[in-house]
Amino acid sequence: MAERIGFIGLGIMGKPMAKNLLKAGYEVTVYDIVGEPVEELVTDGAQRAASNKEVAANCEKIITMVPDSAESEMAILGPDGVLEGARSGSIVIDMSSIAPLVSQKIAAECAKKGVEMLDAPVSGGEVGAINAALAIMVGGKQEVFDKCLDVMKTVGSNVVLTGDIGAGGITKLANQIIVAANIEALSEAFVLAQKAGVDPEKVFNAIRGGLAGSTVMEAKGPMMLDRNFQAGFRIRLHQKDLRNVLQTGQELNVPLPVTALVQQMLGALINDGEGDADHSAILHHLEGMAKVEVKRGG
């Protein structure tokens, strides 16, 4: 019999992740507060659950993929939550990007019922989720990690245990600092080139193979040049992640000046109605300040 996996949260990342589990032969039970993705997954062969509690009651491994700390707490610890349905020995794999201290709080509550937990946030955006090529940063016990490794490898290509509970979240926050700063720097470079009358596409092709080249540049540069800001990872979610970065930095007395600046840029874009655009639309903020629009051909 195929292993049964619960999956809670079928958004832009969760839905393709759950589909990849189905393709790999797992029996997947799904729940989301939005009905449409549930119907789509059921059509693909998943089992429907009426609540987070019901998912946990039917599966020993339960993946949660929700937007932020409050949603993770509600899905796992709240009324009709995972912990109400989970049995001793069950494992919660929270793949949401949330505050590390919240992960530790949730894990402590799970432990009271004999339920294990991994915090396992991901990076790679919608494309990575669709292609099962996510980077997965995991915090938790080695033995629990080992039990869940095959499941996580079904949705990700790089799965690393980085430490105890909360370490996965810290690693994801570090990732989000670097991604945000890269996108902002690329935006500045393109705006400078455009204002100087130099074709940004030629600048991109000239520098991509040098030290400035990066996975972020390869993913986001063409989107900027095509002016394609359809969300692979939404501005409002990256702004949330950077808020968690800054809160964690404050708790640890770590100054994060560049992160703070980019977080404010993302907040301004949300105020401009661009919260659901791809985070490559940081470019718009720089264009607005320079009064120029980046385009192919200079």
DSSP summary character for residue 278: B
Helix, strand or coil for residue 197? coil
For residue 275, give the DSSP letter: T
Phi and psi for 167 in degrees, rounded to 5? -70, -35
Interstrand relation of 134-139 and 122-123 (parallel, antiparallel or unpaired): antiparallel
**CA 59 to each of CA 40, 83, 90, 229, 253: distance values in angstroms, whole numbers, following the listed order:** 20, 12, 8, 38, 41
Give the whole-angstrom CA distance, residue 42 versus residue 58: 16
Phi, then psi, of 87 in degrees rounded to 5: -105, 160
For residue 127, the 8-state DSSP code is H
Give catalytic residue positions.
172
Separation CA 144–CA 211 (nearest Å): 39
- Distance of alpha carbon 267 from alpha carbon 127, whole angstroms: 25
